[in-house]
Chains A and B, each alone.
Chain A
Amino acid sequence: MRKLILQYKQAWASLKKKPGFVLTVLMTMGITLGALLCVVTLNYLLLVEPLPYPEQERLFVAEHGLIGAKKETKAVAYTYPGLVHLYKSKQAFEQASMMMYGQDVIVSHSSQPLVNIAYVTPDLHQILASPMALGRMFEASEALDTNNPVAMLSYNTWMQEYNGSADILEKKISLSGVSYHIVGVLAEHFVEPELEIIGRKTQVWLPWDYNQAGKWQRQAFDNINGSLKFIGLLKQEVSQSQAQQLLTPLVNDRWQAGLPGDDDFFKGWTINMHVRSVKDRILGESESIAVMLLAGVVGLVLIACANISNLFMARTAEKQRQMAIQAAIGATKKHLFKAMFAETSLLMFMSIILALVLAQFGFYIMQQYLGAILPRVNELSLTPITFASAVLVTIIFALFFAKLSTRMINYRALNTTLQSSGKGSGLQVSKKTRQVLIASQVALATVLVFANFSLLKDAVKTINAPIGFATDNISTLILNFSSSDIPSQEEAKPIMAEIMEKLEALPQVESLAQGNSPLDGFWVRALTSVANNEKYTPFFKSVDHHYFNMIEQPILQGDNFTMAQRQDGANVMIVNQAFAKQLKADGDVLGMQISTGRPDSFKIIGIVKDITIPGDSPTDRDSSALGSGVPRVYVPNGLGGQSFMLKLKSGQTVSRKQLGTLLAEVDSRYSVFSFNAASAILTQTLFAEITTAVTTTVLASLVFLLAGIGLYGILSYGTQLRRFEIGARMAIGATRKHLITMIIGDNTKAVLAGFIGSIVLFALAYISLSEYIQPFLTWQVLPMVVATLVLIILVTLFACYWPLRQYINKAAIYSLRGSD
């Protein structure tokens, strides 16, 4: 023990002399191991860690798949009556819950916040055994068809909206004209299963009966809604596939029977029930993201490890003499190994401490920025798994570096080192090994930098891609109606007209349109061409006659809608180029008749230019128009709609509160549901791309930094070994220029080999992954190739010169004698 303490004391003293070396190791290993711990924890959480619910292994969701006539999946979403039928049947599941997601405004709250709602049956929180901070969860009193207006709040809502007030259970909140008694607040550590959108947190839980489905929707078997979910505990004796076999006919038969007889759009379609574990559902595509991240970071750690190996080898070369002295006075290999291990383990210990701090920071970053991409990131924290990996990694790397360093010591040549009074280089890595190291370092760096450049360019391209319409100064205002007796279109018309008049009168407002912006979403509608009976499912939106002007989307052929058409509810339609092409190869579709399944068909009166909304892709995979833009159709909207686009004068703003006051003046039942700038929505839509851009930029810089350090390490080590040769050359009259040219020349071969190596790597990637890579291979990659090469060459030149300067800028005798 005393010996151990002594060794560590000496190791510490020795390291203190080399702050640059220590700092480089700390930064390199700290950062990369931090990233490693981060993604290891993430991978463990996502792939291994059970969900935080009792009996989570029996927790399954049932998904409702609509299968087309050609056995292709058309959509995965429930019909409202279909879901209720499944729930009531009580088949396969021991206990299950219906869920519907939505948003609403808490009108009773002074700031009238828009909150995320989940409408659920009491089963949900019973199955999840949700922990409560206050009060109770939903019970039998809130079961299906009880119409008991009570609510549960999330912990954060309680804290943020109600300042955690102690008497919250005595309060009521009102949404859409219903006043709910608050019966419970979920605990802070309750983890919601994010079944709809990753990162969406429910703020208020309401009983199923109060969900937002309209009367007709509750009966309609020809209407699907993506926010309807079914989750439950599978019966002990029922397997996943048994459940599927049991549920599919049950739901399908009811659906077939429930479809309206006069609609043959769904002819030949069937329902297929898909039962999958909640864990699998939540994980979704994230598994591959997590594994890719892990692979990337492991690559990073390998580069870092190669770099640090170089540094340790150089350090051993430096310490050769010291170790020779120790060996002369009786230190065995084991002694030297232990001393070296004390040093490496100390360094690794410090690195891992830094790594843990950085990992903690990384979790925070992930929660902030990856919450919308990866599930469960809120559960990330330094777990025993993190610490176990940290300990393991520390020991492995400390042993590895110590072994590597001590392996280099040439015991048989120790006396040479001692007698030549520091002259000569008893131990060295052969020239060939050094060249291979340089080449591999260059190859790896080139590939990684290039790959990162490509990813970055892709993301930037999406971010900067022209969307084809204006968003500047345009905001969408959506109204909230806080009463249960919703007015009819006819009743709403005069109110909306008055509201529009007042809005237009606002000094900040430049122009106004009824209906929301393209970024607020499109519906998907089943349409049939009357001429040939072909079926289509384009994106669908009802807009007013100002819409195209306001967002500056050009009408290429035909006419815009008119006020008269809106008043009359005329059956006219404007299509975009992509849909026109889909309908008719030459795109000449003016006057064509399109059926929505109702008796009167729509006539196409205009064609508008395509727009690009990030993330939108055609719904119909069989479409011949695939790759040529998303098909969209527009019809005139009615005058009673409760959403508006406001174009403000440049530099002007309108507050939510201001609008609320305005609305209240017209009709106190109306308030602001949401008021969002189109540009903000666009940024939100581009979130994934922006995250990718930032991540790849950071990763590319990191890779570049590491590769730089690595190249520098190995080149400077090579130069150090040639010190006496450099001295000899100086003695016979070599000038600085001669020596710099020589070192660069000698390393050029290795760097070239590295470039060739990277080309080979790319060729291999091309052969095995050609379908993914082919689209990238255009002349456009040339500038990136050049940029990568230039960067690598600059680093190499620097790494050639910098270590050399200490020899060539001093009197020759210093290099020749080996004394400083």
Chain B
Amino acid sequence: MTIPIIKVQQLDKVFSTDDMLTHALQGIDLEIQPGEYLSISGPSGCGKSTLLSIMGLLDFPTTGKLFFEGEDISQLSLEQAAAIRNKKIGFIFQQFNLIDELSIFENVALPLRYAMEPVSDKKIKERVDYCLDIVGMTSKAKRRPTQLSGGQQQCIAIARALVAEPSILLVDEPTGNLDSKSSDQIMATLQTLNDQGTTLCIVTHDIRYAEMAKRKVYLLDGQVLGQTQF
């Protein structure tokens, strides 16, 4: 069996405010193998976004273990986490999270600018052009995010997630802010990427889109309710 890209063991996440303790995640076990297309679904508040944040090193578990490509990364410093996010993980958010002040080209190039080993401008241009081509947005390179529609912005976000050649794409509710036509296009793009070998983990509450994944995980009240494998 191959080494899973992400492996989660007995993961707990507890939020505490004043008097309240909220168990967002309880005893989660999960593995994502290379080339997989996994969907995590469940009603609002079930903890799926929290799980995605922890897998993406945006947040830390309260207890439990987290492995990335076989390495235990449960106890990382902020700097180390940033380096792994930069190199190994591509994020796609519901709100696109593009930076309005930068051009599309610079938005896509950003992860390379933050790379540990400096990337030459020539290499950056190659990568950005290539990724923009994948999502069919080459013509928009000089525009600003505010000049694009929501669907187009999400395409740019996908290009940005791909640019550093990550091991996995973590996708949080990618169609949440889009109309149905744009949503279908985005989902088709993601499907194509997976067909070409990109590992995908997508969080959504939209059953239609959850069904598109090869493997589905249901969360309810912070616990895995069931898994389906196609």
Contacts and interface: CB of A to CB of B under 8 A. Distances in A.
B119 interface: no
B85 A728 contact: no
A502 interface: no
A809 interface: yes
B114 A738 contact: yes
Interface-centre pick from A728, A810, A811 (highest chain B CB count, 10 A):
A728
A408 to B, nearest CB: 20
Given A728-B97, A734-B82, A734-B114, A813 B87 contact: no
B58 A729 contact: no
Interface string A350-390: 00000000000000000000000000000000000000000
Nearest to A727: B97
Given A724-B97, A812-B59, A813-B53, A735 B160 contact: no
B64 interface: no
B60 to A, nearest CB: 6
Interface string B67-103: 0000000000011011111110101010101110100
B47 to A, nearest CB: 13
5 contacts: A731-B85, A732-B110, A733-B84, A734-B114, A811-B59
B114 A816 contact: no
Interface in A422-436: 423, 431
Given A423-B95, A812-B59, A729 B83 contact: no
B27 interface: no
Interface in A708-741: 724-725, 727-736, 738
B79 A735 contact: yes
**Majority secondary structure, A binding face:** helix
B60 A735 contact: no
A735 B99 contact: no
B56 interface: yes
A731 B87 CA distance: 11
Interface in B94-129: 95, 97-99, 101, 110-111, 114-115
Interface residues of B, number: 30
Interface in B151-196: 160-161, 164
Contacts of B160: 732
A420 B165 CA distance: 31
A811 B86 CA distance: 15
A733 B91 CA distance: 10
Contacts of A474: none
A313 interface: no
Contact of A733 (B60, B82, B93): B82
Contacts of A727: 97
A732 B88 CA distance: 10
A470 to B, nearest CB: 65
Contact of B87 (A431, A730, A733, A734): A733
Nearest to A735: B82
B161 to A, nearest CB: 8
B172 to A, nearest CB: 10
A808 interface: yes
Given A733-B83, A813-B59, 9 more contacts: A730-B58, A731-B93, A732-B111, A732-B114, A733-B84, A733-B89, A736-B79, A736-B82, A811-B81
A816 B93 CA distance: 10
Contacts of B78: 736, 808-811
Nearest to A820: B17
A808 B81 CA distance: 12
B99 A733 contact: no
Interface string A785-820: 000000000000000000000001111110010000
A728 B99 contact: yes
Contacts of B87: 733
Contacts of B57: 812
A732 to B, nearest CB: 5
A456 to B, nearest CB: 42
Interface in B136-161: 160-161
B2 to A, nearest CB: 25
A210 B119 CA distance: 98
A732 B86 contact: yes
A526 to B, nearest CB: 78
Interface of A: 423, 431, 724-725, 727-736, 738, 808-813, 816
A816 B160 CA distance: 17
Given A725-B99, A813-B53, A730 B59 contact: no
Nearest 10 Cβ contacts at the A-B interface: A733-B86, A728-B97, A813-B59, A813-B58, A812-B58, A733-B85, A735-B82, A813-B53, A811-B59, A732-B111
Nearest to B88: A733
A811 B161 CA distance: 19
B83 A816 contact: no
B58 A816 contact: yes
Nearest to A431: B101
Contacts of B93: 728, 731, 816
Contact of B82 (A423, A431, A724, A730): A730
A729 B85 contact: no
Nearest to B115: A733
B91 A731 contact: yes
A733 B111 contact: yes
B60 A732 contact: no
Nearest to B15: A819
Nearest to A731: B91
A810 B60 CA distance: 10
A321 B84 CA distance: 34
B79 A729 contact: no
A811 B82 contact: no
Contacts of B59: 811-813
A733 B114 contact: yes
Contacts of A730: 58, 82, 85
Interface-centre pick from A725, A731, A734, A738 (highest chain B CB count, 10 A):
A731
Nearest to A724: B97
A729 B57 CA distance: 13
B6 to A, nearest CB: 16
Contacts of A729: 99, 110, 114
A78 to B, nearest CB: 77
Contacts of B111: 732-733
Contacts of B53: 811, 813, 816
A732 B84 CA distance: 9
A735 B83 CA distance: 7
Contacts of A812: 57-59, 81, 85
B94 to A, nearest CB: 10
Nearest to A420: B95
A725 B99 CA distance: 6
A341 B59 CA distance: 40
A729 B99 CA distance: 9
A816 B89 CA distance: 16
Nearest to B113: A738
A809 B164 CA distance: 24
Contacts of A728: 93, 97-99
Contacts of A809: 78
A731 B58 contact: yes
Nearest to A730: B82
Contacts of B110: 729, 732
A231 B99 CA distance: 78
Contacts of A724: 97
B114 to A, nearest CB: 5
A733 B98 CA distance: 14
Nearest to A738: B114
B183 to A, nearest CB: 19
Nearest to B163: A732
Contacts of B81: 811-812
Nearest to A746: B101
A809 B115 CA distance: 19
Contacts of B114: 729, 732-735, 738
Nearest to B98: A728
A416 to B, nearest CB: 12
Contact of B60 (A734, A811, A816): A811
Contacts of A431: 101
Contacts of B83: 733, 735
